[in-house]
Structure 1
């Protein structure tokens, strides 16, 4: 087990003594600003999905720029998540949340005012730094305010916000772009007033205890981890499009990323305050939760990407309607996330919901693997409900299991580790599955056009356009089928997790 004195003698741990008793109203008031900020931060990653063709055309960008508008945010969000989490174990959590919001607002304003693709990509990277902080710190603040036994109901709200923002982003982006009085720049400006309101609310309502401890910043570890992850994300994001997977530049990037992360492990073993404490990987619950989160991230992020393609390309719906057709997924997730959280807080059991959720993810993906371009839309909606219910019972409860394992002094590093690998799994998984989808479409078209998208379909002869739509509709089932097989990893990991009773104090009792 993880004892602070054995692993990190210089780090005193909080005790359960004199923990303030907060009413549910006080907690919800304190969390309201945080949830607002988190919603717009996550929304910023997906809201450009349907706006990108307009943005690229207006700024006279290229296909490379098109890719990097999305990749820049994902890269900085993922790479900085563990750093934000570790900082929250050392410094004021409230101050860090406020700094993350300010960074996000500055990045949003800069992106909205951008006059070129290069400038837009740079400000999107800044946005991602702030978004990474908010995603990591939201989990940490909840853990610092609420005992694990009571945390389920509030984690449910957090999971609902995370999923709603992820899936509704393309819908919001499509609406803004299609509204003449607004346009694509409001995809970035829309989060600014909400961020300012969240900042004001947090200043008045959020009061998070900070455990005094000696501070040793792990600069080398932070640089190596963020650098190694960034290189690998660049590799998986661009390989297959900008260069071949087996090309010298591809192999160089892969080797450089792997070597950098290997160096990070060596540094983390010797650091007094490592960004990612390696002893976390000796905790069975942490390792299994991290493994399960990889696939959950792939399913969550992939859902918005591939469902958008399916409904718009294969079924000929516009961007707004395509977004609305994903509501069954959001609805299932909201119901399961809040419902399971309430039941966990009432009865103190969490593994049954994890098991049910993992099983429903597998079942939902297996059902979606049967979808083709002729599947009735109501039936697709029913499949999405099953998938949403599974995600809702799994996503936040994996974090809860980890937080219940570690003490409050390490909850930032532990929580951000799960969030980091969930984001990494989503980014890598979606990239690889996109390659699979492209090859499958090509095979169904007998080696024909593979890069045809929405903007190209109108230029094709009707018969060829219909063939492309049918190919996309039939190929998406393959992507979900592969995801269903991968989800067996989540199911196996959850089966092996040992259920530990949820403690009723924020910190472990001395």
Structure 2
């Protein structure tokens, strides 16, 4: 393909990547209004996010393997159609159960698009020339990250559009991208005969995590911690994950390469990346809810109020990336980022329904800076401590666990928030002398439909409870700090491969 042909095809690839990425962030701010309109609960609020994240996380490695067996262009077109149809289905959902199911299917398309676009770009552009196009990729990711919440808020606040257009808006863009790629994308199909797809491993991991997350969602409310339901679900999830581990040790090309993550640096990087994943997803999901339900702001205003965190991510990732390249040192930036992230969570843990927005904004900047300094540098640390033959497996493993951490984080924090809110609302109603039967459905997120005294109690409950979940985030982030402190000193290497692959994890080659 000529440079002109590459640019035409790249425009379609970047457009579909933008739509896939923005589909997650555009919903985050509008979600309180969506769940309120569908008469959903806090637990269902969490699962609208968790379902798509879990499906995308589990399916992404499989889509990557399929790209080595079948036509990359055909797979990309199929994934675009899946994403487009499920986006329409989400927009037409009549209740939260339907929305959760459609979001899980949409996650399959989201995971496929995010990995296949990168695979196609790698097949279309030589490694030597790929750097000149990375700026376009970074720009698309930045706009999707920052612009998604704002666009979602504006759509939800626009009376002649409404929240359903947060899903519908993806359809025209995907149609344009599909037509553009059909005409401009020309990638040869190179079938690799040695590729094995680990369907069993991916299915068992997704099933085991799903069972545990469902247990976390309902334990303490629907059934007791010590009950047969707990034994069945927690025990069943543990058995499924144990089976997944057994399968991964025997798979020719496992979803999770255990031989890589057993090593010191990759293992510690994965632990640290779990905290980063929680910050990326949990922060955006629950802060948007806090601003709308806890403080009474509109979706548009909530989108504007989340900008400090997104700005922190963009600025710190750019600056720290240049400083790492200049110094060749990685560990100091990862450790600093983990500490800053923990401080940001600690400040957020002090907030309630009356906390100054300036303080919350400053804390969000700290969280964003921490994510920006640690997220990509954790991947870089692994890439510089493994041999070339394991580069893809190691990079894929940390990305997988970061997404899994975000999935688990949203679910666990959402369950804690739901329990805390339910307790606070009950106490507030009792103190005000209002019987629970007359609360008008305070358990739902349809705040506008509640009577004024109850509305005040519910807003206070959400505003005060959100701080508790960030205290948990801070505690888990401390684990990430400890993990990064035990990193061996990692220096950027200027060679393509390590001289001794057997000692790749122990002796990185210093830059000259």
TM-score (norm 1): 0.79
Partner residue, 2:447:
456
The separation in 2 between residues aligned to 1:92 and 1:344, in whole angstroms, is 38
* Distance in 2, Cα, partners of 1:404 & 1:292: 17
How far 1:488 sits from its partner (Å)?
Answer: 1.2
Indicate how the Cα distance of structure 1 residues 289 and 67 shifts in structure 2: closer, same or farther if over 3 A, else same: closer
Partner SS for 1:497: coil
Using the TM superposition, give the Cα deviation of residue 155 of structure 1 relative to its aligned residue in structure 2, in angstroms.
Answer: 9.3
Contact 2:86 2:106 in 1 (8 A): yes
Once the two structures are TM-superposed, the CA of residue 290 in structure 1 deviates from its matched residue by 0.9
Aligned-CA RMSD value = 4.2
Displacement of 1:337 in angstroms is 1.7
1:331 maps to which residue?
311
| Structure 1 residues 316 and 293: alpha-carbon distance in aligned structure 2, compared to 1, 3 A threshold | same
Q: Give the conservation status (yes or no) of the 8 Å contact 2:58–2:205.
A: yes
Q: Which residue of 2 aligns with 1:176?
A: 155
Residues 233 and 428 in structure 1, CA contact (< 8 A), matched pair in contact too: yes
- Distance, in Å, in 2 between the alignment partners of 1:307 and 1:93 is 38
Displacement, 1:110? 3.4
Counterpart of 2:483 in structure 1 is: 493
Cα deviation for residue 55 of structure 1 reads 5.1
> Are the aligned partners of 1:333 and 1:391 in contact in 2 as well (CA < 8 Å)?
yes
Q: Which residue number corresponds to residue 232 of structure 1?
A: 212
Residue of structure 2 aligned with 1:43, choices 16, 19, 22: 22
User: Where does structure 1 lack aligned partners over 5 or more consecutive residues?
Assistant: 1-21
| Correspondence for 2:463 among 447, 470, 473 | 473
The alpha-carbon deviation at position 439 of structure 1 amounts to 4.4
> For 1:259, which of 234, 239, 257 is the aligned residue?
239
Q: Is structure 2 residue 178 aligned with structure 1 residue 188?
A: no
Greater CA deviation, 237-246 or 261-270?
237-246
2:329 maps to which of 324, 349, 352: 349
Is 1:249 the equivalent of 2:239? no
Give the conservation status (yes or no) of the 8 Å contact 2:152–2:166.
yes
Is residue 195 of structure 2 the alignment partner of residue 215 of structure 1? Answer: yes
- Report the Cα distance in structure 2 between the residues aligned to 1:410 and 1:174, rounded to whole angstroms: 42
Contact 2:204 2:240 in 1 (8 A): yes
Question: CA-to-partner distance for each residue in 1:96-132, whole Å, 9 max, x for gaps?
Answer: 5554334222322333345666654443222101112
2:89 to 97, 110, 114: 110
Distance across 1 between alignment mates of 2:37 and 2:426: 35
Q: Distance in 2 between matches of 1:411 and 1:208?
A: 24
Q: 1:419-461 CA distances to partner (integer Å, 9 max, x unpaired)? A: 3222222222233223333444566667346965652365244
Task: Decide whether aligned partners of structure 1 residues 245 and 27 sit closer, same or farther in structure 2, where only a CA change above 3 A counts.
Answer: farther
For 2:341, the equivalent position in structure 1 comes to 361
| Aligned mate of 2:111, from 132, 137, 148 | 132
Whether the 8 Å CA contact 2:65–2:195 is kept in 1: the answer is: no
Q: Provide the residue aligned with 1:72 in structure 2.
A: 51
Distance (Å, rounded) in 1 between the aligned partners of 2:154 and 2:465: 28
**Pairs aligned (count):** 486
Listed as ranges, the matches of 1:289-308 within 5 Å are 289-308=269-288
Q: Residue 30 and residue 290 in structure 1: after superposition, are their counterparts in 2 closer, same or farther (change >3 A)?
A: farther
Which of 285, 298, 306 is the aligned partner of 2:265?
Answer: 285
Deviation at 1:61, TM superposition (A): 7.3
Out of 488-497 and 160-169, give the one that drifted further.
Answer: 160-169
Name the CA distance, whole Å, in 1 between partners of 2:492 and 2:71. 26
Relative distance call for 1:447 and 1:164 in structure 2 (3 A) is: farther
Higher relative contact order (CA 8 A, sep 6+): 1
Distance 1:111 1:437, change over 3 A: closer
Partners of 1:147 and 1:54 in 2: how far apart? 45
TM-score, normalising length from structure 2? 0.79
Task: Give deviations 1:256-308, integer Å, cap 9, x for gaps.
Answer: 22212211222222222223222112232221111111111111111122212
Compared with structure 1, are the counterparts of its residues 399 and 91 closer, same or farther at alpha carbon in structure 2 (3 Å cutoff)? farther
CA distance in 2 between counterparts of 1:142 and 1:273 reads: 23
SS of 2:427 mapped into structure 1: coil
- Is it true that 1:372 corresponds to 2:372 in the alignment? no
Are residues 261 and 313 of structure 1, via their aligned partners in 2, closer, same or farther at CA, if it must alter by over 3 Å?
Answer: same
